[in-house]
Structure 1
Amino acid sequence: MTRARLSAATISRLPVYLRVLNAVADEGQQHVSSSWLAQATGVNSDVLRKDLSALGSMGRRGVGYQVDTVKAALEKALGLGSVHPVVLIGAGHLGQAIAGYRGFSPRGYQIAAIIDADENLWGTHVAGLRVQSPQELPDLVAEHKIGFAIVAVPAHAAQAVADQLCAAGVRGILNFAPVELTVPEGVQVRGIDLAHELQILTYLSTGQI
Structure 2
Amino acid sequence: MDDAKPLSISRQSLQRMPIYLENLKKLRAAGKSHVSAAFLAGELGLHPVQVRKDLAAVSSVDGNPRIGFALAGLIEDMEDFLGCNNANEAVVVGVGNLGRALLSYKNFAGYGLSIIAGFDSDPAVAGTTVHGKEIFSASRITELCGRFGVHIGIITTPASSAQEVCDAMLLGGIKAIWNFAPLHLNIPDDIIITNENLAASFAALSGRLRQQRDAPKL
Q: TM-score, normalised by structure 1?
A: 0.92
Aligned to 2:52: 49
For 1:39 and 1:29, the matched residues in 2 are separated by: 17
Q: Does the 8 Å CA contact 2:118/2:133 hold for their aligned counterparts?
A: yes
SS of the aligned residue for 1:143 comes to helix
Instruction: Quote the offset at 1:23 in angstroms.
Output: 1.9
1:72-151 superposed matches below 5 A: 72-151=76-155
Q: Which residue identity lines up with residue 172 of structure 1 in the other structure?
A: A
Misfit runs of 4+, over 6 Å:
none
- Aligned residue number for residue 71 of structure 1: 75
CA contact (8 A) 2:61 2:73 kept: no
For 1:25, the equivalent position in structure 2 comes to 28
Q: What residue number does 1:61 align with?
A: 65
The alignment yields a C-alpha RMSD, in angstroms, of 1.6
Measured in 1, the distance between the counterparts of 2:142 and 2:99 equals 20
- Looking at structure 2, the residues matched to 61 and 158 of structure 1 have their Cα atoms a distance apart, in angstroms, of 51
Letter in 2 for 1:78: L
Contact 1:114–1:131 (CA<8 Å) still a contact in 2?
Answer: yes
Amino acid at match of 2:97: H
Residue 176 of structure 2 corresponds to which residue in structure 1? Answer: 172
DSSP-derived class of the 2:46 partner:
coil
Q: Does 1:38 align with 2:48?
A: no
How many percent of aligned residue pairs carry the same amino acid? 29
CA distance in 1, matches of 2:78, 2:149: 24
Deviation of the 1:186 alpha carbon? 1.4
Which residues of structure 2 form unaligned runs of 5+? 214-218
2-structure distance, mates of 1:23, 1:60? 20
The SS at the match of 2:106 is coil
Equivalent position of 2:216 in the other structure: none
Say if 2:149 and 2:173, in contact at 8 Å, map to a contact too.
no
Greater Rg, structure 1 or structure 2? 2
TM-score (norm 2): 0.88
Instruction: Please give the secondary structure, in 1, of the residue aligned with 2:89.
Output: strand
